[in-house]
Amino acid sequence: MADTITTTDLAAGTWNIDPVHSAIAFSVRHLVVSKVRGTFDTFSGAITIAADGTPSVTAEIDVTSINTKNEQRDGHIKSADFFDADTHPTATFVSKSVTKSGSDYVLTGDFTLKGVTKSVDLDLEFNGVNPGMGHGEVAGFEASVELNRKDFGIDIDMPLETGGAVVGDKITITLEIEALKAS
């Protein structure tokens, strides 16, 4: 059974996500047989470590920064059919707990997308702390989660005549995070 964790590996205080050394990527089934991959290029967040070692995480993603390397597709994803980015330009995550899972962790929190908030569990790997390159300590993390887009009100159906759909329901989000200890 997983126990709620505290960490002694990260110094108490705030660790800001460094967007220059971090990435948020996703993939989704396309035409049943392949995947479309993309990134969100604008995001921010912080990991706060309490004096007792308890971590909490907050993050914001600018959904208008979606980049699938296809301008027409990106425009459609920003539309009311998908993200409705004019009304809901930001997705957010606020952690509720971190639990040990084998040698890794599960980060549980509230994820809000398109005005819908759901509890999600991210599989989290802590890669350690490094003294950095003269700008302070850095910590590294990798996380992933599989979401059903329909759970967040992204319920457009684009069925294919041969069966299946143009866009799958399950989205895999992968985060590569480097966080810098605030001075």
- Tell me if residue 98 falls in helix, strand or coil: strand
C-alpha dihedral sign at 150, 144, 175, 29: negative
Distance (Å, whole) CA 51 – CA 141:
21
End-to-end CA distance of the chain: 36
| DSSP code, position 10 | S
Distance (Å, whole) CA 68 – CA 107:
27
**Where do the domains of the chain lie?**
13-181
> How many Cα atoms within 13 Å fall on the side-chain side of residue 92?
11
What are the helix (H) ranges across 15-89?
A: 71-78
pLDDT of res. 1: 38
Q: Most distant CA pair in the chain: distance in Å?
A: 58
Tell which CATH architecture fits domain 13-181: Beta Barrel (2.40)
pLDDT of res. 146: 95
pLDDT of res. 67: 97
Residue numbers in the chain where pLDDT is lower than 70: 1-8, 30-34, 159-160, 163-168, 183
The string of pLDDT tens digits covering residues 24-48 is: 999 887 665 668 899 999 999 999 9
pLDDT of res. 5: 46
